[in-house]
Structure 1
Amino acid sequence: MDLSHAALLLAAGLAAGTVNAVAGGGSLITFPAMIAIGLPPVPANVSNSVAVFPGYVASVAGSRMDLPRPRALVTLLPTAVLGSIVGSLVLLATPARAFEVVVPFLVLGATAVLAFQDPLRRLVGHPRDLSPRRRTVTVQAIVGLGAVYGGYFGAALGVMLVAGLALVLDATLARVSAIKNLLSAVVGLTTLVVFALFGPVNWAAVAVVAPATLVGGYVGARVARRLPPVVLKTVIVLFGTAIGLYLLWRALG
């Protein structure tokens, strides 16, 4: 790795950490950067998943004041771990082409759910009108599916989690974003362990990107806390749409 490659990865890591904390989707900055320095797609994807984990941890630190009580989160963590393991193993065991075609529609669908959150709430009912059992099952399903996706690819995981959780949780968008950061960190830790043991990780690239995402993640989380809800929602929707269209172009190109 020469100096220009290191500089590209450093800049990508800073930007990705910030974007992940605010909206999610920072992997679409670091993943192409790893491709650009010459890594094949699967090693680039695996190395990227390992490298962005510190940024998720920093995002949790930056948004910790908005997290609910630990008791409200503890039942979600095993689901996130199990889903991440499944997604990681699927990535290592199967060709990526079929999933690459599906991913853009998942991202665009999640973004649409967030964009039209209020009309959908009127259709399915406001979170406070849902029975505790229905809310619990729905949240677990959202987290489980999101974790599988995060273990497999991960880009726009934050958009998906925010979109789904905001629909069923009676909470501010800042709190939903903080929960998203914690779950993303759990997914990131799980994929890090799996890929470190079994995946083709390029540790030189990780050594450059990881510290940069740590700085960017903390800064981004502090920025997200200060954004008005409508601005934060608009940023996430615009970024999610851009990610989905980019992935669609890439899959069909």
Structure 2
Amino acid sequence: MLAVFAAGVSAGAVNTAVGSGSLITFPVLLATGMPPVTAAVSNTLGLIPGSISGAIGYRAELGGQGRRILRMSVGALLGGLTGATLLLTLPATAFERIVPALVGLALVLIVFQPRIGESVRRRRERAGGAAHPDGGPLLLTGLTLASVYGGYFSAAQGIIYMSLMGMLLDEPLQRLNAVRNVLVAVVNTAAALFFLFSADFDWTAVALVAAGSALGGSIGARVGRRLSPTVLRALIVAVGVVAIIQLLRP
């Protein structure tokens, strides 16, 4: 119980600051002897309080983004529900091959995001166009598809969100991180509500992860908001590399 609670605190902090906290809680839940699907759905429900407390911690960076978040949350909600459905219907190995490649591509995009963003801005200026305030249909489609993956298995979904928003939105990295926290909360909540009626939970694990992640989310917000864009980007890449190694392990 102490290990699960500690994993919840760590995951909440990591999720809020850079994402991929499920890489901490999910293995710990499996180590207790819990079946994989039960561990996945219990983890999803338990991490909701951490996502909410993290989003509250980033409330200053969320200012002026209400309309954008509302629009993106629709795609996140639909994607999360779709991913939750796939978790209960597809074999456990369905995403094993594509997920590491997807996370790897997201990391490459994050590393080169400043150059890509500058290139996109110069091209837009030459064409005489203005940036779409919400990233346009391309970003909404990409975030919705990423949310499908998030509803299926939440590890590293935030990295994919950050890579997509970094390319298509002209915003500081911390403001994008704030939006990421909200979208993760929406996806986890949508998936958890679906699981409530169709899957088995370990309620002791849910309570322990929830309490830990709520505390960790608050800590992660205080730390994450102080990081420079360069340090934040480096941490996201480091966590992403760990995620790929974990996902490729037999």
Q: Give yes or no for TM over 0.5.
A: yes
When the two structures are superposed, what TM-score results if normalisation uses the length of structure 2? Answer: 0.93
2:232 maps to which residue?
Answer: 232
The answer to whether 1:140 aligns with 2:140 is yes
SS at match of 1:25: coil
2:101 matched residue in structure 1: 105
Distance 1:127 1:84, change over 3 A: farther
Task: Tell me if structure 2 keeps the 8 A contact 1:43–1:201.
Answer: yes
Cα shift readout 1:69-103 (whole Å, capped 9, x = no counterpart): 21222111111101111000011111021212211
State yes or no: 1:38 paired with 2:47. Answer: no
Larger helix proportion of the pair: 1
Tell me the distance in 2 between the aligned counterparts of 1:39 and 1:78.
32
The alpha carbon displacement at 1:164 in A equals 1.0
Structure-1 residue corresponding to 2:195: 195
Distance 2:34 2:124 in 1: 48
For 1:15-48, what per-residue CA distance to the aligned partner results, in whole angstroms no more than 9, with x for missing partners? Answer: 0000000110000100000000000111111111
SS of 1:97's equivalent? coil
Percent identity at matched positions? 39
Tell me, yes or no, if structure 1 residue 21 matches structure 2 residue 22: no
The CA deviation at 1:125 is: 4.7
Runs of 5+ consecutive residues of structure 2 not aligned to the other structure? none
> What is the Cα deviation at residue 120 of structure 1?
2.8
Separation of aligned partners in 2, 1:127 and 1:32 = 44
Verify the 8 A CA contact 2:133 2:169 in the aligned structure 1.
Answer: no
Other-structure match for 1:185: 185
Matched residues, number:
245
Counterpart residue type for residue 215 of structure 2? V
Q: The residue matched to 1:200 in structure 2 has which SS?
A: coil
Question: 1:88–1:194: 8 Å Cα contact kept in structure 2?
Answer: yes
Q: Does 1:204 align with 2:200?
A: no
Q: Which amino acid aligns with 2:27?
A: P
1:155 maps to what in 2? Answer: 155
For normalisation by structure 1, the TM-score amounts to 0.92
> Aligned-pair distance for 1:119?
3.2
Q: Contact conserved, 2:117 with 2:166, CA < 8 A, in 1?
A: no
User: What's 1:213 paired with?
Assistant: 213
Checking the alignment, whether the CA contact within 8 Å between 2:135 and 2:165 is kept in structure 1 is no
What residue ranges of structure 1 are gaps of 5+ in the alignment? 1-5
Contact (CA 8 Å) 1:127, 1:168: kept in 2 or not? Answer: no
How far 1:112 moved relative to its partner? Answer: 1.2
SS where residue 179 of structure 1 aligns?
helix
* Alignment counterpart, residue 118 of structure 1, candidates 114, 117, 131: 114
TM-superposed deviation, 1:135: 2.9
Measure how far apart 1:115 and its partner are. 0.9
- Cα offset, 1:133, TM superposition: 9.1
